[in-house]
Amino acid sequence: MPGNRRRPRRKVLKGLDKSVVGTLKKLGLSEVAKRVRISAAWGQAVGPELAARTEPQSLSRGVLVVRATSAAWQNELTFLKHDILSRLNQVLGREGAVRELRVVGGSLRTRPKPEERPVWLDQAPTADDRAVAADASLPLKDRDMKAAFERIVLLDRRARRARNRS
């Protein structure tokens, strides 16, 4: 029955991916989403020990720049480069998403302790924030993805408001 064919799941997901990317670009969040995705994939690909001593800095045109805490860890990453690239692309689900790994030295960004959290994180989102987040997530059908995306939008709106006040 030619008229009763179901669309392959892959095409549906590609369409969803495009709509999410488009929405993120409209909101100015595409770079934020890319960084979050790479950071999460990095931890899964290299494991907790290496992830604690390294940090992805940027991804541009398939080149991932990673900061390592010492020369020894820079060396370790260089030796494991091909294995890391393979695992990272596997976690990201796209072969060739990361084609090259560049390792730089330096200290990692310090993550704030709970008592040092920015005040705006504890402020409740406004009704306007919630409306913008709900509108932005309309194209998303997956409930979990929709909720996660709305959380990102709400955090971004509160952070921008705090930056504009200072």
Q: Which residue has the higher pLDDT, 4 or 143?
A: 143
Instruction: Name the phi and psi angles at 131, rounded to 5.
Output: -65, -45
pTM: 0.52
Answer positive or negative: Cα dihedral of 16, 30, 137, 121. positive
In the chain, where the domains are located: 20-107, 119-161
Q: Which CATH superfamily is domain 20-107 in?
A: DnaA, N-terminal domain (3.30.300.180)
Instruction: For residue range 103-128, list pLDDT tens digits in order.
Output: 998 887 765 555 666 777 778 899 99
pLDDT averaged over every residue in the chain? 78
